[in-house]
Amino acid sequence: MSLQVVAFAVLAALILYGSYKVVASPLITHSALFLALVLVSVAGVFLMLDAVFLAVVQVLVYAGAVMAVIIFAIMLSEQREIGGDPSAQRMGFGEELRRALRSRHWGLLPAAAAALLAVLAIAGIGRLGAPAAPGAASTSVADVGRALLTDYLVPFEIASAVLLAAVIGAIVLTAREGSDARDGGRS
């Protein structure tokens, strides 16, 4: 077994475990930390695929900035615990899963969707052909830049418009609430 297979297995295990804990942790803060673990592990997968720039972006933007926003959003919310059952923290994996499945019938909907996605993915594996040899489709930062500024020029400029919308949206949404929450919290 090559080092590559071992690395992929470790990353895949981290991603699966982390994603499970994101939805199963009783504390939202813990969910956020497990989400960070998942995002960093995905960056590892990008590195293994030779997408260096994407891996850096993943860590910088997702594990850095987006996680910061999520944690800020958690700090702004009143409710930090899901379910409010302290014994849930001591439960084993099987019991935890059983309770999660039983607690909300709506939980079956995303479960069914995930199962469908898994079936489609497994069915699709054969059609895609062999994966590209590592290093064959190496993408440097210059390749990304060239593609962004020539072939994908319009999406690139639209990205800036989307970011502008995000700035204005954040300001509009928080400014309305800002007046009454301003003196309530901690400075």
By CB under 8 A, name the binding residues for another protein: 3-4, 7, 47-48, 50, 53, 57, 60-61, 64-66, 68-69, 72-73, 75-78, 80, 134-135, 138, 141-142, 144-146, 148-150, 153, 156-157, 159-161, 163-164, 166-168, 170-171, 174-175, 177-178, 181-182, 184-187
The one-character DSSP state at 136 is: T
Q: How far is the CB of 127 from another protein (least distance, A)?
A: 25
DSSP 186: -
Nearer to another protein, 87 or 150 (CB): 150
Least distance (Å) from another protein to the CB of residue 71?
Answer: 8
**Alpha-helical regions (H) of 129-185:** 141-149, 153-181
| 80/98 with CB nearer another protein | 80
Residue closer to another protein, measured from CB, 107 or 134? 134
**Residue 9 corresponds to which tokens in the numbers above?**
């297995």
Tokens for 43?
A: 């960056």
Q: Which two tokens stand for residue 117?
A: 């996605």
Q: How far apart are CA 29 and CA 109, in angstroms?
A: 25
Residue whose entry in the numeric block shows the structure tokens 């849930």: 88
DSSP one-letter code for 51 = -
* Shorter beta-carbon distance to another protein: residue 73 or 119: 73
